[in-house]
Structure 1
Amino acid sequence: MNVVIVDDDLEFAKLIEKDVSQFFSRLYDFVSIDIINDDFKRIEDYSSIDLVFLDIDLKKEYNGINIGQFIQDYFPKAIIVFVSIHEELVFSALSIRFFQFIRKAQYQTDIVKVLKQVKKYMDENIKRILIKVDGRTHVIKFSKIIYLMVIGHDLIIKTIDNELTIHSSLMKFMNQVDYKELVQIERNLVINLNYAKEVMRIKVVMYDDVEHNVGRKYQSQLIEQYEEFLLK
């Protein structure tokens, strides 16, 4: 689990770090917590973010809304928790799809509730699958899969972290998956709608501007699933 705390108040950021560590370390085998206290452009260096605590009112050229927009664009499944001493700024944050808002003045009350809500959400929504490659077991979050592609008898699983190849058919793999954002658009290709920048009936443009054509038999289903995805 990768957690990032973005706050120019280092003392407060360390308080969040302590509480998050105590709460999640007993629940997950791996919890990484980073604090970004001044060089906020560092947020662009991360390859994976699961949970971010983000101060809206940063005293730099990067404000919390800008950073939140970046996270939403590049880490669409990241859980964003805004933090601020100014409660009225919650209205400014409404342009971002955020999970919760912590009031610094009510921190001790809010953090307990929010951490429990985050755990409940992750238990219900962050689904995983075990993959064995060359004798090693890998845990893959469905939300991190960018696409699945079959070449010959091999299935390539491309995630935001790496690329794995297993001996499997696309149908066999998809039968194990209960994740509606993974949508088949060609006989040998499934894409994750979270990483699609533009979806049209005959073409999908991914976040990295790679374009994929949509097979005729998959077009209606793609549009239907994409409309459901947008309504979430």
Structure 2
Amino acid sequence: MNILIIDDDLCFSKIIKKDILSFFSDFYDDISIEVINTDFKKVVEYSTIDLIFLDIDLKTKYNGINIGQYIQSNFPKAIIVFVSSHEELVFSALSVRFFQFVRKSKYQTDIIKVLKQIKKHIDENIKKTVIRVNGRSHVIKISEIIYLMSIGHDLIIKTINNEFTIYSSLVKFMNEVDYKELVQIQRNMVINLNFTKDVTRIKVIMFDDVEHNVGRKYQNNLIEKYEEYLLK
């Protein structure tokens, strides 16, 4: 799990990093925590962010709202937790789909509650699967799959960082992963709603502006799944 802390308060960053590591190390082995205290534009260098603790009131030309919007656009499944000593800023944060808000003035009370909520969310929503490519096993996060495309007996799995080709049918893979935000739009194609920019009954526009037509057979189901997704 890749965790990022963005806060211009060095002392607070050390405290929250220690608490996060202490809590999650009891449950997960693959924890990586990085802290950004000054050069906030470094956030664009990351290829994967699972969880971010983000100070809203950064005392620079950058602010937590703008960074949060960038995270939301580029890492749609990232868990965003805003942090601030100014509780009233929670209203400004509503322009970003964030998970929780930690008040620095009530830190000891808030952090335990929020970390437990994050753990519950991860256990319920962040699923992984193992695929085999050329005799090697690869673990991929289902949430990072952008699309699946079936060509003959091969299945192309496009993720955020890689593209894999395995011997499998689309139906078989979908039954195995059971992930609601993967939705079939064509006979041989499934897309992840988290990576869509616009969805209509007949067309899907992905985050990279690539357009896909929706087969007539799949239109009603797509709209139904998309409406459920928007209400989450």
Q: Give the TM-score range, shorter chain.
A: over 0.9
Residues 206-221 of structure 1: pairs in structure 2 closer than 5 A: 206-221=206-221
Cα-to-partner distance string for 1:24-55 (whole Å, 9 max, x where unaligned): 12311211111111111111121111100000
Secondary structure, in 3 states, of the residue corresponding to 1:143?
helix
Deviation at 1:91, TM superposition (A): 1.4
Residue 48, structure 1, aligned to residue 48, structure 2: yes
Kindly tell me the number of residue pairs found equivalent between the two proteins: 232
Deviation at 1:182, TM superposition (A): 0.3
Code of the aligned partner of 2:116? K
TM-score (norm 2): 0.96
In structure 2, how many angstroms separate the alpha carbons of the residues matched to 1:104 and 1:42? 24
In structure 2, how many angstroms separate the alpha carbons of the residues matched to 1:87 and 1:224? 37
Cα-to-partner distance string for 1:40-76 (whole Å, 9 max, x where unaligned): 1111121111100000000111101111111111111
Deviation at 1:136, TM superposition (A): 2.5
1:111 aligns to what?
111
* Percent of matched pairs sharing the same residue: 73
1:90 aligns to what?
90
Deviation at 1:152, TM superposition (A): 2.0
Gaps of 5+ in 2: none
2:175 aligns to what?
175
Code of the aligned partner of 2:11? E
Residues 39-78 of structure 1: pairs in structure 2 closer than 5 A: 39-78=39-78
1:13 aligns to what?
13
TM-score (norm 1): 0.96
In structure 1, how many angstroms separate the alpha carbons of the residues matched to 2:83 and 2:136? 40
Cα-to-partner distance string for 1:143-192 (whole Å, 9 max, x where unaligned): 11100011221111111121111100101111112211101111111000
1:154 aligns to what?
154
Gaps of 5+ in 1: none
Deviation at 1:137, TM superposition (A): 2.2
Q: Mean Cα displacement is larger for which, 187-196 or 36-45?
A: 36-45
In structure 2, how many angstroms separate the alpha carbons of the residues matched to 1:45 and 1:206? 22
Cα-to-partner distance string for 1:184-211 (whole Å, 9 max, x where unaligned): 1111110000001011222111001111
How large is the RMSD of aligned CA atoms in angstroms?
1.1
2:137 aligns to what?
137
Secondary structure, in 3 states, of the residue corresponding to 1:175?
helix
